[in-house]
DNA sequence: ACATAGTATAAGTATATTATTATATACCCC
DNA sequence: GGGGTATATAATAATATACTTATACTATGT
């Protein structure tokens, strides 16, 4: 989930790919049209489109020898908002990928709101009772 | 605008940084706590936090020698949704960064909906009046 | 002032990404 | 099948990123 979400965000986090997305939002375009419009090489377009397709951000419709690319605005929005918000809204203990991290985090939390930092511990000790992180 | 939007998405498009964001959404944490929780080196945390700060995704509050990091859920949501949606909703001709690209695109559009592809043009001629694609 | 905790930065290395050039594949029309 | 178009892939070079180790900086407590 984390890796996949990161992947979608990363796919969009590149200027050339954002431009492709932007023009595809105007209308369906084939690779050679993107080449014309963006004024960049055909392999460069193909490679970026590949990344976008792998992230399921663009659809492809083959007509004759052309590869027409398009985006579904709603799907696109969902591609960003849903994975990210789902990740953010999922409880930490429901994320298997963060099992070890969350265990350490819960230890932190269990320790009556004391930080993991040694200075924090020191301060805590001074002020009375500490049971620390491990 | 495009570069900046790409930058924000890129900052979030990395697993370690997403994890940091996820834990900061639980509560404010300092660098050394993130080190503990994530189980990774301190420079690694500092470096990723730097990227997140540069993208204005986390806030920093210095207390004693600690650097407490936090995120504002709303700001975070906006950091993703607003830049991206603004980009998507802004008319092509209002994006100075895409001036050249858009001029070529409008040429395409002006040509009675014919594609830039040579094959597309050929088809147009042959079929007399195919309103191609879109 | 000294020792220590917390954080930041520098240097180095390994890997990944981007872009270019050249080439291969697929498809269409004649 | 030959010629041409559209796209994909391979090889390569340039650059960027992520991570580690070592070190510097800053603040704090004694």
pLDDT tens-digit readout, B69-118 = 998 777 777 767 666 777 777 887 887 877 777 777 777 677 745 566 77
Q: Which nucleotide is nearest to B42 (CA to C1')?
A: C7
- The pLDDT of residue B126 is 33
- 3-state helix, strand and coil shares in percent for chain A, rounded to the nearest 5: 65, 10, 25
Same domain, A48 and A102: no
Nearest to A24 by CA among B23, B88, B18, B114: B88
- The pLDDT of residue B129 is 33
Nearest to B125 by CA among B112, B110, B134, B107: B112
- Domain assignment present for residue A85? The answer is no
Helix (H) or strand (E) holding A102: helix A99-110
pLDDT along chain A (134 residues), means of 10: 88 93 88 89 96 92 88 76 72 78 73 62 37 30
- The pLDDT of residue A120 is 58
C-alpha–C-alpha distance, residues B74 and B69, integer Å: 16
Task: Sort out which chain A residues have CB atoms less than 8 A from B58's CB and list them.
Answer: none
C-alpha–C-alpha distance, residues B21 and B23, integer Å: 6
Q: Is B106 helix (H, G, I), strand (E, B) or coil?
A: helix
Same domain, A57 and A97: no
The total domain count for chain A is: 2
Backbone φ, ψ for residue B115 (5° rounding)? -80, 170
Residue B122 binned pLDDT confidence (cut-offs 50, 70, 90): very low
A91 touching B, CB under 8 A?
no
- The pLDDT of residue A114 is 58
- The pLDDT of residue B54 is 92
- Domain assignment present for residue B84? The answer is no
Q: Which domain range does residue A22 map to?
A: 2-76
- The pLDDT of residue B42 is 94
Q: Which nucleotide is nearest to A13 (CA to C1')?
A: C17
- Domain assignment present for residue A82? The answer is no
More confident residue, B120 or B32: B32
Nearest to A53 by CA among A41, A63, A67, A39: A67
- The pLDDT of residue B98 is 73
- Domain assignment present for residue A122? The answer is yes
CATH of the domain at B55: 1.10.10.10
């Amino acid at each position: 989930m984390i890796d996949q979400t990161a992947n979608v965000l990363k796919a969009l986090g590149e200027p050339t790919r954002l431009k492709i997305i932007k023009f595809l939002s105007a209308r369906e375009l084939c690779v050679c049209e993107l080449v014309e419009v963006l004024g960049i090489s055909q392999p460069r377009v193909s490679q970026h489109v590949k990344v976008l397709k792998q992230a399921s951000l663009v659809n492809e419709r083959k007509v004759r020898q052309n590869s027409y690319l398009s985006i579904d605005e709603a799907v696109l929005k969902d591609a960003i908002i849903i994975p990210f918000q789902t990740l953010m809204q999922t409880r930490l203990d429901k994320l298997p990928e963060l099992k070890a991290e969350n265990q350490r985090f819960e230890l932190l939390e269990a320790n009556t709101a004391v930080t993991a930092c040694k200075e924090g511990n020191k301060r805590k000790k001074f002020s009375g009772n500490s049971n620390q992180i491990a």
